[in-house]
Chain A
């Protein structure tokens, strides 16, 4: 028996109604009110269906259960009341599911996220497959939201407050094994028998043969009696005692929540309201009961949906989603060419990092060339170190690490490069050397081997001058450390062929990167907008500001680290070199204060030299190296500056230069500019990127503030022509 539906199918087989969720015309299942209505109609039918003693809910999609609520839906919401209403609607629907008179089993394979997991939590029993495709989680906080359909209430009740808070506050995903351990699911089964076992368990629940006992927080499926040894194990389980101590009494609970809040604030610095709200809502539910908890959840959800932070985070989500579909060229029909082998010239930190992401994530063969055996050893040891780290963290088995590591080979000549589809150079920033690399590769490889430069400052057009077929020359600017930094900035020069761009964009995506494509120009986009920002920080120091204060100002603004710390990390000599390139290209507005020379001469190169603005003594806490002030104007006599003003000066430089990049056609769109600044430079995500920030502040106000500083400090604060133009025309970036 089956009933044709738009998004669900219903079939009863030997006493069990199987409801298959298969959203029409969509690659994955998502939740929306219309879906709920259709589902509830089917449940009503199941309730009265004599042939159905129990229900199994399963997905009809290949490797996805339910990916969560449809996010577009939230963008359309006009008011807090409307958002709260949406939450209540979801809650009511899942309340009914929770109270449904027949047992309901969720059969989970693939992503079971957000609303999808809340749905599953409202079922009586959860079975997940052991597939690597299966993951469960409540990622709402990553969009500045909280679970709004009962998740903040059901999860702590199922697995205990401590474990639930960890999942809700971080938004992290669980693999099946861990989900079982925490008690989020009751059983984990091999994928092919998911439906069969689910139907069997549904019937057992209906017949009273299976009564899941869930000892909160440590509940594993108890199919049968608990053995003595399991009880013993329970006694020795540290987590169990911690749970008992922290959650079962009001004092412990207060301690737990206070601790969680403290840790949270350390991370969010008060910039992200969602996790704080989640914490409150969970607490309300535990102290005042489910009903009060749900009401608090709906209220908080409504507030958050309308919050600026959530709006920005959702916009970033959509921007990155759009970038995933973008081939990086004007012509969406251009297809990337297959890449089976990647060459890397220079096995330093960058080169080795690229070799790692190419082998580990993209899963292609990598050939590294370095100048001598020592260089080869360093490169391989570095890649190996990254694999060892993953094995240690158990995010990869040693067997997989061995296989992946075996994709990476290294040499001191050009052997093994002939078959490379893409060669990425990561050698010194020296145009002559890069030209030699272009010529060498063209002598060894075919005319369609792509030559990508990982330069962070040299114009690609200049590099391409050495090429016999410049259409294959492109820039692939990775960020350090490559395995951690999410952005890849691809730089095309005028002659770069579209297929080359599309191929490199695809390589970046396959390496797990968010890829933006920008046009060539000195410093491209990211290095270029960073330069005046860092310069401004240097000016502040030259004017007598305190090092730690400058950093604190920008961290307070929302950057992950302050500019002076960043300078130490990047290397003061490197920054000086790039600074000079910028100055040559853009004139005096990029002129750095002449304090860096003295620092470099003093051997203060930053972290790599263990000598910079801060101390790098492994045994001691990092602090400002007081001796550095001797090399700065005003010496030890530091002045007080207003923190907000310090931040504003730096940020306006950053933002103004970003607008210039858009005006000059370096950027294809404000979207790319925002994503590049957030993922490449750590611009605060809750502000949505420089262009969203300007839009939110008002273009007029940004112009006014820039002009204000222009009056005080002169040319370097000259507003970007495009900003003036937009203000005149009354335009916004979005």
Chain B
């Protein structure tokens, strides 16, 4: 195990002291009536309780949400105000798509590292059951004009130009703004360009389910996942993730039809992450503060890196760009890493990222002397990934950080590399140590 060291950059060491998440559930199931804010505040509330944190010690809260709630756009601050936390706890909301709760963690960790804060709660929350639907631009403009008009005829006038199609509600975008391609299209593109077979993708999906199911069975998630009595009626309690299946098989996965490219495609509902509701949070402290308050940290943040690539190229290849930088900053190479936890947006993306990390030509493209290396599959996503556990966008990063730290502890190992790919060609990588 790596022993406590002052990071090379001279900043304070940041400890991850605790973490918690709600069960991750398929959209429109148990959490159907909850908002992202509800989920976020439920998890933060319970994290404070379980860690027995004296809320007086808390300096800031950074939280994220990807699909916005238009009635409460600053989820972080609302969480502070709705969980009985001291009102002086400052808060801000961040968004880095699927890497949002890596971003929220890093934002708070930097404040701690610089000595601007000692204790922070970070995380992310997402409700895919509660996407904002808004009106078309012409209808919105007509409504605004009408509200300003003085009399009935003037109030009606703006609506004369409205066409039938303007009356349809507009859902949030699923396509990349600059390319018009959806995530699934991009995954298909990567599978084809990188020669990722359907079988390889299904194998990754199967491993994800098997690892996650095993982790549940072994009780590995007992300290990670809270029970959520579901408000407002409290008629049921969500206790486990409801996407993971212990009975799936390669045959069952192989039987599924491709979704995005029905003719030549390989990406199916089985080897992609599903729409999910859930929230996850982390408790961070400076190493000194954790010691002073008597906490035994789960681990420390050793380094992190964000990197980006052209979304028109291979959209979800970001991790392959960010990982070598994070390792460099940690002063480590892949062989120093005990466990790798890679966010699984799509099995095709996981396979592509792993391929690039091992590829000499990809290293050359980055101007590096050699590839990062071959990731040992037995050390990858050992407690399952987003395909099996689900992917509430903003909550996934915090889920992975906490999960891999607990996995290290169970195996008595010391270091982990975490990667998350994100919209726009962004990628995130984090090196953790115990």
Chain A interfacial positions (CB closer than 8 Å to B): 365, 367, 373-374, 376-378, 380-381, 384, 388, 402-403, 405-407, 409-412, 415-416, 418-419
Contact = CB atoms under 8 A, between A and B. Distances in A.
B236 A384 contact: no
A380 B231 contact: yes
A367 B49 contact: yes
A388 B48 CA distance: 26
Nearest to A412: B227
B52 interface: yes
B41 A381 contact: no
Across the A-B interface, give the 8 residue pairs with the lowest CB-CB distance, nearest first. Answer: A416-B49, A381-B234, A373-B237, A377-B234, A418-B52, A380-B234, A415-B50, A377-B229
Interface residues of B, number: 22
Interface in B35-83: 41, 45-46, 48-50, 52, 54, 81-83
A578 B142 CA distance: 71
A376 B82 CA distance: 20
B229 A410 contact: yes
Contacts of B232: 384, 388
B234 A416 contact: no
A416 B237 CA distance: 19
B236 A365 contact: no
Contact of A416 (B52, B233, B235, B239): B52
Interface in B212-259: 227, 229, 231-237, 239
A708 to B, nearest CB: 56
Interface of B: 41, 45-46, 48-50, 52, 54, 81-84, 227, 229, 231-237, 239
B84 A406 contact: yes
A403 B41 CA distance: 11
A78 B45 CA distance: 60
Contacts of B239: 373
A411 B236 CA distance: 14
B234 to A, nearest CB: 4
A377 B237 contact: yes
Q: Which of B45, B84, B227 has the most CB of A within 10 A?
A: B84
B319 to A, nearest CB: 35
B82 A403 contact: yes
A418 B294 CA distance: 14
A22 to B, nearest CB: 33
A380 B234 CA distance: 7
Contacts of B83: 406
Contacts of A411: 49
Given A377-B236, A381-B233, A384-B234, A415 B49 contact: yes
A365 B52 contact: no
A696 B246 CA distance: 78
15 contacts: A377-B234, A377-B236, A377-B237, A378-B234, A380-B234, A381-B233, A384-B232, A384-B233, A384-B234, A406-B41, A406-B82, A409-B49, A410-B229, A415-B49, A415-B50
A416 B236 CA distance: 22
Nearest to B82: A406
Given A403-B81, A403-B82, A373 B50 contact: no
Contacts of A374: 237
B84 A365 contact: yes
A145 B84 CA distance: 43
A374 B229 CA distance: 9
Q: Which of B50, B234, B236, B237 has the most CB of A within 10 A?
A: B234
Contacts of B49: 367, 409, 411, 415-416
Contacts of A380: 229, 231, 234
A16 to B, nearest CB: 38
A377 B235 contact: yes
Given A377-B236, A380-B229, A406-B83, 18 more contacts: A373-B227, A373-B229, A376-B227, A381-B234, A381-B235, A384-B231, A384-B234, A403-B81, A403-B82, A403-B84, A406-B84, A409-B46, A410-B229, A415-B49, A416-B48, A416-B52, A418-B52, A419-B54
Contacts of B41: 406
B281 to A, nearest CB: 14
Nearest to B56: A340
A418 B53 CA distance: 9
Contacts of A376: 227, 229, 234, 237
Nearest to B48: A416
B56 to A, nearest CB: 9
Contacts of B237: 373-374, 376-377
A151 B374 CA distance: 90
A604 B214 CA distance: 50
B19 to A, nearest CB: 14
Nearest to B230: A377
Given A367-B49, A377-B229, A418-B52, A402 B235 contact: no
A412 B82 CA distance: 23
A412 B50 CA distance: 12
Contacts of B50: 415-416
B52 A419 contact: yes
Contacts of A388: 232
A384 B52 CA distance: 24
A365 B82 CA distance: 12
A34 B82 CA distance: 50
A365 B48 CA distance: 12
Contacts of B81: 403
Contacts of B236: 377
A419 B231 CA distance: 25
A378 B233 CA distance: 9
A359 to B, nearest CB: 9
B242 to A, nearest CB: 15
Nearest to A381: B234
Nearest to B37: A402
B216 to A, nearest CB: 17
Nearest to A406: B82
Contacts of A409: 45-46, 49
A131 to B, nearest CB: 21
Nearest to A407: B84
Nearest to B54: A419
Contacts of A412: 227
A153 to B, nearest CB: 47
A372 to B, nearest CB: 9
A292 B377 CA distance: 99
Contacts of B45: 406, 409
Contacts of B82: 402-403, 406
A403 B82 CA distance: 5
A174 B84 CA distance: 30
A454 to B, nearest CB: 22
A409 B48 CA distance: 11
Contacts of A373: 227, 229, 237, 239
Contacts of B54: 419
Contacts of B227: 373, 376, 412
Nearest to B46: A409
Contacts of B231: 380, 384, 405
Contacts of A415: 49-50, 52
A133 to B, nearest CB: 21
Q: Which of B227, B229, B235, B237 has the most CB of A within 10 A?
A: B229
A516 B235 CA distance: 38
A540 B239 CA distance: 54
A685 B69 CA distance: 53
Nearest to B81: A403
A645 B225 CA distance: 64
Contacts of A402: 82
Contacts of A419: 52, 54
Contacts of A410: 229
A377 B235 CA distance: 6
A3 to B, nearest CB: 44
Contacts of B52: 415-416, 418-419
Nearest to B232: A384
Nearest to A418: B52
B144 to A, nearest CB: 25
